[in-house]
Structure formats: structure tokens, C-alpha cells
Structure 1
Amino acid sequence: MMEAHPAPPPATAPPPATLLTVARATLRDWLAHHAASKGAALAFYTLFSLAPMLLLVLGVAGFFYGEQAARGELFLQLRGLLGNQGAQAVQLVLAGAHDREQGRLAALLAGALLLLGATSVFAELKESLDLIWQVAPPKHGGLWELLRTRLLSFGMVLVLAFLLMVSLVVSALLTLLEHYANGIWRDAAPLLALLNGLLGFAVITALFAAIFKWLPRARLSWRDVLVGAFGTALLFTLGKNAIGAYIGNSGVGDSFGAAGSLAALLMWVYYSAQIFFLGAEFARQYALQMGSLRPRPPGPPRAPPGKL
């Protein structure tokens, strides 16, 4: 007589994740992935990529709306992000890169270097995001992988230009609304300021969503991407005020003399990179614990074929 084997214990679902467990895992992985050193590398690439990247953005947006309108809206958005000192530093860098006179050959070489420089910061971002998502390196790298990375990075530059154009249109609509609202409702200014703030938050969220969706080689659902982008934008919005207050009150820019604006910009990019990587870790942990990548309990065992 054959002995009956005991039935396996029923599969139990993993304990439900909470925002607290997601936050703990986010901070743990943020420290484990050495965000401080990666933020320094990203700040270095950003410093040398900022001028060519913004020149490309202005070129694309200016083609549709005019260079002056695009430049004015760009500096308005930068002033809201970086403060007056940082925005002035970017303006000086752009002015120096824009006013150089070049011959035809020099212009072609400058155009190639412009594309290379503009995409370097997004290429560095892609490498960092692949590390955060623990994506295995491609089996067949080489030239194709390099071209793919640069094409994706150039696509991110086009996304920036598109968001700038959207911001231009919405800002024009808000200006028109303010013109009519002031004649009807005297207290319309706070509401319009709130709408402008929501516009900036939406632009930042859309940019982070595009980066999380298309830059890393990990496949993410749009739900995970949007939740992660929203959380990153929220962290970024809260953090930029703290960074601006620290840079403005500590006098760190004044200690560098003539290079004070550039030093303040570099420090702002470095601390912003820490917030971005923290948000990327949050997006990953949300997907793993509460999103589409969370482990699910196995279903009931299926009957063998031909048996009921």
C-alpha cells in the first residue's frame, strides 16, 4: 500500500506593502547605489552639456514660436527652478555659446559637438537609471548601443523642447486669462499664481515620466511611471525650495568671487541630482512592492489533462 504524501501547504500572499516599507527600501537602495558620487558625475556632465542642450531646445521651440519668446519663457522657467543667480549663470553661458562667429567647417564641427554635448547628460542619466533598475548590460553592445543611447538622449532633448512649447502656449493663455479676469474679478491674481504653479509642476512631472519610461532599458508600465514621476516631482518641488534657501542664505556663491553664479549653479545641479536619484529609487520600489512588478501568489494547481 502506497503512503499518501501530505498536501503542500497553501501558498500565502506576501505581506502587503505600505508607503513606509517603500520609503525604507528607497532610502536603503539610494545609499547602496552611491547616489552622492553619481550626483557629482551628473553635475559635471550637466555643466558642460547645459549650453548645447538649451541651444538645441531654443532652436526647436524658437522655430515655431520665435527665438525671443522661447528664450523669455525658458529663463522664466529657469528662474523659478534655479533662482536669479542660477538663471543669470545659465544666461551668461548661453550668451557666450550663441555669439561666436564661425566659418562653414567650424560650424559643422560645432554642430556635431553640439549634438554630442547636448546628449551627454541624458546618456549619463541612462547609465545611472540602468544601475538603479539593476538591468543587465546588453549582450551585443558596441557601436549600435552607443548610437541607440545617443538617439534616446536626443529624443529627451526634443521632449524638453516640446514641453517648453507647451509651457509657452499655456503661459500665453494664462496671460490672456489674467487680462480678462482683472476686469471682472479683482482677486484673480492668487488663483492665476496657483495655476502657474500647477503648470510648472505638470511640466516637471511630464519630464520625469518621459525619462523613467524611455531612458532605462527596463520595461515599466505607464502606471508605475506616472506614480514614480509624480513622487519625484513632489520631492523635487519641495527640495528645490530648500536648496534655493540654502544657497541663498549660506553665501556659498559669494565665496567663489566672479565664479559665484557658476558655483551656485553647480551646487544646485548636484543636490537636485540627489533628489532625482531618490525619486528614481522610489519609482523602482513602488513598482516592485505596490505596482506591476510586485510578487503575486501562485494560483490553484491545475488538473492534469484529460481529468476532471
Structure 2
Amino acid sequence: MPDIKRKTKTFFSLLKRAYFSWDRNDPWARSATIAYYALFSLPSLLIIVVTVAGYFWGQEAVQGRITKEIGEFIGMEAANSIEEMVAAAALDQSSTWALVFGFFFLLFGATGVFFQLKAAMNNIWNIAAKKNNVKRIVINRIISLGMVFVLGLLLLISLIISTILRAISDYLAKITPGITTFLLDLADFVLSFTIIMSLFASIFKWLPDVKLRWKTTYLGAMLTTALFLIAEYLIGFYFGQSDPASVYGGASSVVLILLWVYYTCLIVFFGAEFTVQYALHKKEKVEPNEYAEPAIYQELQRLESKRGQLIDEKRILDTLQSHTDKDEEEKKNQESEK
């Protein structure tokens, strides 16, 4: 019992520290930035996810599942709009060059949101990427593309397990129809929780330029998933009560997508801050990888550069002031001579 009390106290202490660090890093502006990028990345990202999972399961089934899942978050009207975006952004098969260029633009667009999310994660860990070169830019895009494929893989696993659960449900319905619904709902919740937690753990592990153990990411990923599922209900309740779609008219689908990504990013950033505080509490050895360094080094360089700039500005002001004083002195002399 004392051990449980101590762990509970430590947990709430970590939550408190994570909140203050989260608020200090201005998550509001960063979430708005990523929501903006996500709006343009979403069609490309979903096309790749649908293609990856659809190769094994069928694109219509995958696209229907995505529309259903998104519809549960922000409503079927916005989900149908996203489905139309995906259809409109599909690659043109009529021309080889159009297909090649379309593919590269597709990859660039799909990885944009993860590229921005990576920068935000680095900021949370107080590290900064070293000077970018072509090799590092390519690696960053590959990592971001890897996250897109992780989404496709998790969706595929979700579809497979959902099919298995449906088969088990049909079997149990013949034997114990009374508990079938409860068991299915419980299994579906555990499935959703596990898949979402795996996604968040992957983001915390792979996106920031730090060497981090999987074990360190899972507690933060569990907390983020719990907050995400709670927020899913609250956001759905808010959308249902306030009906923001009626305020924005034809732009309602775009606004709902932006709001959904915005609030999701706030939660992800808090989970990342909690992961940082947990790593500090456990005295985990966390250090930047070969492509990054502590942010304080670059901050000191900026301050030194700013110091040199201020010295130059002061020298210019002193020179201007000396000229002004000289002119005033000459003017006084001329007046005295008269």
C-alpha cells in the first residue's frame, strides 16, 4: 500500500512538471502550424496508407474503414469530404511522367506533417538539428515516410483483427448471445487502445533526434492514448452541442479537420513532455544522435551573433551622435560670430 501511494504521488508530480514544461514550450502555436501542414498532407498521406493496406486487404475495405474511423472523430460529413480529397488527389495513370512526378509530390506531401512534428519533438527534448545537408534531409524524409507506412501497417493489423473478432462474435452469438456484445466492445476497445498506443510510442521513439529506449516511451504513449480517447469523446460532444459546421458553412469540413488535428497535437505534445519528465525521473541516459546537439549550443551561438550585431549597431549610433554633436557645435559657433 505505501508503495502504491508513493507511485501515485510520483505520477502526479510528473504530470505537474510535464504541464509546466508543456505550457512553457507554447504548444498552441506549434499545434496550429502542424494542423495547417496536415490539411495539405492529409490527401497524400491517406492515399499511401490506403495503397499499403489495400494491397493486402482491398482498397475499398480500407478506405471504408478510414472513413468510418474519421467519421467517429469529426462527423461523417467531414469524413466524406476527406474521402473526396483522396479520390481527387489520386495519381494520374494516363501518363508515365505524370505518374512519376505525381508519386514524388505524393511522398513530399505525405511526409510534410511528420517533418514538422519532428521539429516540434526536438524542441520538447531541448535539442536542435545540426546544419542540414542533402543526406540529412533525405534521411528525415525517409523517417517521416516510415511513419506513414507504420500507419498503413497498423491499419492493416486493425482490419485483420477486426475480421477475426467478427468471426469470433458470430460464433459466440450462437452459444452465449447475452455476453457477445460486451466481449466484442471490450475487445474492440483493447484493440483501439493498443494500436493508438503503438502509434504514439513510434512517434516518441523515432521522430526526435535522441537515442531513446522503447521502454521509456510506453508510459508516455499510454497516457497520451488515454487522453486521446477522452478527448475523442469530449470533442465529439463539443461538435455535437455547438455545431461549428453551421457557423462556417461551406468551409466547415476544413475547419473541423483543422480543429481535430489541433487538439490532437496538443495531447501528443503533452504526452511527449511527460515522456521527457519520466526519463529524467528514471535517470535514463538520453542523448542526441549524430545529427543533433543540445539546443543550448545553438542558442549561445545566436546570442554571440546578436552581441556582435548590437556592438555594430552601437558603433553606428555613436558615429551618428558624434556627427550630430559636431553639427550643433558648428551651428552655435556661427550664431555666436553673428
Q: What is the TM-score normalised by the length of structure 1?
A: 0.85
Is 1:126 the counterpart of 2:111? The answer is no
In the alignment, structure 2 segments of 5+ residues that lack a partner are: 1-5, 287-338
TM superposition shift of 1:201: 1.1
- Give the aligned partner of residue 260 of structure 2: 268
1:38-77 equivalences under 5 Å are: 38-77=30-69
Is the 2:92–2:102 contact (alpha carbons within 8 Å) kept by the matching residues of 1? no
Other structure's SS at 2:177 match: coil
Report the aligned-residue RMSD: 2.0
- Give the aligned partner of residue 277 of structure 1: 269
Counterpart of 2:13, as a letter, is T
Counterpart of 1:216, as a letter, is P
- Give the aligned partner of residue 141 of structure 2: 150
Is the 1:224–1:291 contact (alpha carbons within 8 Å) kept by the matching residues of 2? no
Deviation string for 1:121-151 (max 9, x for gaps)? 111111000000111322x522122111100
Other structure's SS at 1:253 match: helix
TM superposition shift of 1:105: 1.8
- Give the aligned partner of residue 334 of structure 2: none
Is the 2:122–2:208 contact (alpha carbons within 8 Å) kept by the matching residues of 1? yes
Q: How far apart are the structure 1 equivalents of 2:257 and 2:93? A: 27
Is the 1:88–1:261 contact (alpha carbons within 8 Å) kept by the matching residues of 2? no
Is 1:86 the counterpart of 2:86? The answer is no
- Give the aligned partner of residue 227 of structure 1: 219
- Give the aligned partner of residue 175 of structure 1: 166
Counterpart of 2:154, as a letter, is L
Other structure's SS at 2:14 match: helix
Counterpart of 2:80, as a letter, is Q
Is 1:205 the counterpart of 2:197? The answer is yes
Q: How far apart are the structure 1 equivalents of 2:53 and 2:34? A: 25
Q: How far apart are the structure 2 equivalents of 1:262 and 1:66? A: 28
Deviation string for 1:54-98 (max 9, x for gaps)? 100111111111112222222233233333233223212112223
Deviation string for 1:231-277 (max 9, x for gaps)? 11111111121112112211211111122122112111111111111
Q: How far apart are the structure 2 equivalents of 1:265 and 1:291? A: 39
Other structure's SS at 1:156 match: helix
Worse-superposed segment, 97-106 or 190-199: 97-106
Counterpart of 1:255, as a letter, is V
Structure with bigger gyration radius? 2
Is 1:217 the counterpart of 2:196? The answer is no
Worse-superposed segment, 68-77 or 251-260: 68-77
TM superposition shift of 1:102: 4.9
Q: How far apart are the structure 2 equivalents of 1:114 and 1:257? A: 29
Counterpart of 2:173, as a letter, is N
Other structure's SS at 1:136 match: strand
Is the 2:147–2:203 contact (alpha carbons within 8 Å) kept by the matching residues of 1? yes
Counterpart of 2:261, as a letter, is V
Other structure's SS at 2:211 match: coil
**Structure number having the greater helix percentage:** 2
Counterpart of 1:157, as a letter, is V
Which aligned runs of 4 or more in structure 1 are off by greater than 4 angstroms?
Answer: 99-102
1:239-278 equivalences under 5 Å are: 239-278=231-270
